[in-house]
């Protein structure tokens, strides 16, 4: 399977008054084309910092100190390092190739703009180049835009080549082209209605005329997904996007994401603290602890044969249907990342810790084909077995 996104030794610190918070410590992760990948870990372990670092939208006082984020949009293309792109190039990756949805839909929606205009705007923003190209093609083929003079055709050609050109603004400043923005806006609204309908919302024609406060939490989150999907991303990142919703709505949205993946998106990175969600929706999983990746592989392998003591502990702390006796919790607490434990960050809480664990950071190794673990103990056990 071809790799879509690969983080290598990603390191991010936050420089606070208490000292440098070492939020990501040589974090590595690999997501394949066509895969639904679940990133799990306790609250505060660095899931959001990971995706924000990969997309270079880390908030101050955060600094990406090192590493690579290799992205191959096409399965057979050479990967590009997102950390080496200019901010302008990165903006077009964020707009066209990778979309992100967050936990709080209210933060992503503008309260004073109708739902229809917000989804349509996403189409307009991301597809300006595509639309202007369409118009240029229409001009060339002598369709209805044939009245345009060669001068305007040339201008449109320039705009078509520059996806970041605010084409609509440009057109509205040229009196002769003002009439043009109406059909384009109408087309974007039609696309918005179509995508909202696809997301299982009844009566999309009416919904587009409403404002965010008229909709329920589940509906708003679907609208946010519609906005994210408007640019046909290769990768959709959902950071706890369903955590605030009630269980049935959450299940519907997860189902929806999976259906959409089949038809329009290549891969999904689902970030959650809920192991049940991962078990039900993902093919691959990565387990994070205190800014490092402990274990990764196929969901069925990792959940049935967890090799890292942290994954083992995490799985025994999940209530089961036929649970007998008390639920196990993980002893100790999440470490302070200003002074993280040396060696393996989990060693102070680990029942299997050896001397080496407090001094040497374990590397992520493929101990079983397709199943990678960063643990000296697992290394020894599996190494001894094979
Ligand atoms: N703005 C910030 N300032 C200082 N530290 C931060 C900031 N944002 C995140 N961190 C640190 O990064 C760690 C990981 O945070 P985060 O990625 O939000 O966790 P998660 O998404 O897994 O709940 C936090 O425990 C915190 O120590
Ligand atoms: Mg988070």
Q: In the prediction, which pLDDT does 217 show?
A: 87
Q: Where are the domains of the chain?
A: 115-186
**Closest C-alpha residue for ligand 1 atom 5:** 14
Q: Is ligand 1 within 6 A of the CB of residue 54? A: no
Q: Is ligand 1 within 6 A of the CB of residue 48? A: yes
More confident site: 78 or 264: 78
Nearest CA among 62, 52, 83, 68 for reference residue 7: 68
Between CA 135 and CA 168 the distance in angstroms is: 13
Confidence at 146, pLDDT banded by 50, 70, 90 = very low
Q: Is ligand 1 within 6 A of the CB of residue 287? A: no
Ligand nearest to the CA of 334: 1
Region 309-338 average pLDDT: 80
Q: Are 30 and 70 in contact (CB under 8 A)?
A: no
In the predicted model, is pLDDT for residue 109 greater than 70? yes
In the predicted model, is pLDDT for residue 294 greater than 60? yes
Q: Is ligand 1 within 6 A of the CB of residue 289? A: no
Q: In the prediction, which pLDDT does 179 show?
A: 53
Which tokens hold the place of 319?
Answer: 């209530």
Region 286-314 average pLDDT: 96
Q: Is ligand 1 within 6 A of the CB of residue 45? A: yes
Out of 42, 44, 100, mutate this one to test ligand 1's pocket (max ligand atoms within 8 Å of CB): namely 44
Ligand nearest to the CA of 23: 1
Q: In the prediction, which pLDDT does 151 show?
A: 52
The Å distance, Cα 62 to ligand 1 centre, comes to 9
Q: Can you say whether residue 215 is alpha, beta or left, with left for phi > 0 and alpha for psi between -120 and 50 degrees?
A: beta
Q: Is ligand 1 within 6 A of the CB of residue 79? A: no
Q: Is ligand 1 within 6 A of the CB of residue 60? A: no
The Å distance, Cα 103 to ligand 2 centre, comes to 8
Q: Is ligand 1 within 6 A of the CB of residue 21? A: yes
More confident site: 163 or 191: 191
Between CA 228 and CA 100 the distance in angstroms is: 7
Between CA 89 and CA 70 the distance in angstroms is: 14
Residues with Cβ within 8 Å of residue 312, at least 6 apart in sequence: 306
**Closest C-alpha residue for ligand 1 atom 25:** 44
CB atoms near residue 250 (< 10 Å): 19
More confident site: 101 or 95: 101
The Å distance, Cα 274 to ligand 2 centre, comes to 12
Q: Are 109 and 118 in contact (CB under 8 A)?
A: yes
Confidence at 386, pLDDT banded by 50, 70, 90 = very low
The 10 Å CB-count burial string (b at 16+, else e) for 119-146 is bbbbbbbbbbbebbbebbeebeeeeebe
Q: What is the pLDDT of residues 252-263, one digit of tens each?
A: 888 888 887 777
Least confident interval from 103-112, 170-179, 287-296, 341-350: 170-179
Residue 12: is the preceding peptide bond cis (ω within 30°)? no
Q: What is the pTM of this model?
A: 0.85
In the predicted model, is pLDDT for residue 205 greater than 70? yes
Q: In the prediction, which pLDDT does 207 show?
A: 95
Q: In the prediction, which pLDDT does 228 show?
A: 87
Which tokens hold the place of 136?
Answer: 């240029």
Atom of ligand 1 nearest to the CA of 43: 23
Q: Cα-flanking dihedrals φ and ψ of residue 229, to 5°?
A: -80, -15
Confidence at 162, pLDDT banded by 50, 70, 90 = low
Tokens 């407090």 map to which residue?
358
Q: Are 287 and 295 in contact (CB under 8 A)?
A: yes
Q: Is ligand 1 within 6 A of the CB of residue 222? A: no
* 253: helix, strand or coil: helix
Q: In the prediction, which pLDDT does 195 show?
A: 87
**Closest C-alpha residue for ligand 1 atom 11:** 23
Which tokens hold the place of 67?
Answer: 């590493």
Ion ligand 2 — residues with CB < 5 Å: 47-48
Least confident interval from 161-175, 339-353, 354-368: 161-175
Nearest CA among 41, 110, 63, 55 for reference residue 85: 55
Q: In the prediction, which pLDDT does 297 show?
A: 98
Nearest CA among 239, 251, 226, 271 for reference residue 39: 271
Q: In what order do the strands lie in the sheet with 3-16?
A: 19-32, 3-16, 62-71, 80-81
Residue ranges of E strands in the chain: 3-16, 19-32, 36-40, 62-71, 80-81, 98-101, 235-239, 267-272, 284-289, 292-298, 365-368, 371-373
Between CA 113 and CA 105 the distance in angstroms is: 14
Region 74-94 average pLDDT: 90
Out of 11, 13, 21, mutate this one to test ligand 1's pocket (max ligand atoms within 8 Å of CB): namely 21
**Closest C-alpha residue for ligand 1 atom 18:** 48
Which tokens hold the place of 145?
Answer: 């835009």
CB burial of residue 197 (10 Å; 0-12, 13-18, 19+): middle
Q: Is ligand 1 within 6 A of the CB of residue 46? A: yes
Region 315-325 average pLDDT: 72
CA 142 to chain centre: 42
In the predicted model, is pLDDT for residue 156 greater than 70? no
**Mean pLDDT for the chain overall:** 85
The Å distance, Cα 283 to ligand 1 centre, comes to 26
More confident site: 164 or 305: 305
The Å distance, Cα 217 to ligand 2 centre, comes to 19
């Amino acid at each position: 399977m071809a790799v879509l996104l690969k983080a290598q030794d990603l390191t991010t610190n936050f420089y606070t008054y208490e000292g440098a918070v070492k939020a990501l410590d040589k974090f590595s992760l690999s997501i394949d084309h066509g895969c639904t990948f679940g990133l799990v870990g306790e609250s505060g372990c660095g899931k959001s910092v990971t995706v924000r670092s990969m997309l270079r939208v880390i908030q101050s006082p955060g600094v990406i100190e090192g590493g690579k984020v290799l992205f191959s949009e096409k399965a057979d293309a050479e990967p590009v390092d997102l950390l080496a792109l200019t901010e302008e190039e990165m903006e077009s990756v964020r707009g066209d190739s990778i979309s992100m949805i967050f936990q709080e839909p209210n933060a992503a929606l503008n309260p004073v703009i109708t739902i229809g205009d917000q989804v349509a705007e996403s189409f307009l923003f991301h597809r300006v180049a595509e639309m202007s190209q369409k118009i240029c093609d229409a001009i060339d083929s002598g369709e209805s835009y044939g009245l345009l003079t060669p001068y305007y055709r040339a201008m449109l050609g320039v705009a078509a080549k520059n996806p970041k050109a605010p084409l609509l603004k440009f057109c509205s400043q040229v009196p002769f082209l003002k009439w043009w923005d109406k059909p384009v806006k109408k087309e974007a609204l039609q696309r918005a209605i179509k995508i909202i309908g696809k997301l299982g919302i009844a009566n999309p024609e009416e919904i587009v005329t409403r404002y965010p406060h008229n909709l329920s939490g589940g509906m708003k989150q679907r609208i946010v997904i519609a906005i994210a999907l408007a640019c046909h991303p290769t990768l959709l990142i959902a950071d706890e996007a369903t955590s605030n919703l009630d269980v049935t709505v959450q299940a519907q949205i997860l189902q929806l994401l999976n259906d959409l993946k089949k038809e329009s998106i290549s891969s999904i990175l689902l970030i959650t603290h809920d192991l049940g969600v991962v078990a039900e929706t993902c093919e691959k999983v990565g387990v994070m602890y205190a800014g490092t990746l402990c274990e990764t592989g196929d969901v069925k392998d990792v959940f049935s044969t967890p090799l890292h003591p942290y994954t083992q502990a995490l799985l025994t702390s999940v209530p089961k249907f036929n649970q007998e006796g008390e639920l196990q919790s993980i002893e100790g607490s999440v470490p302070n990342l200003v002074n993280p434990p040396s060696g393996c960050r989990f060693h102070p809480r680990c029942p299997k810790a050896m001397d080496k664990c407090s001094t040497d950071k374990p590397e992520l190794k493929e101990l079983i084909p397709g199943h990678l673990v960063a643990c000296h103990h697992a290394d020894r056990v599996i190494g001894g077995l094979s």
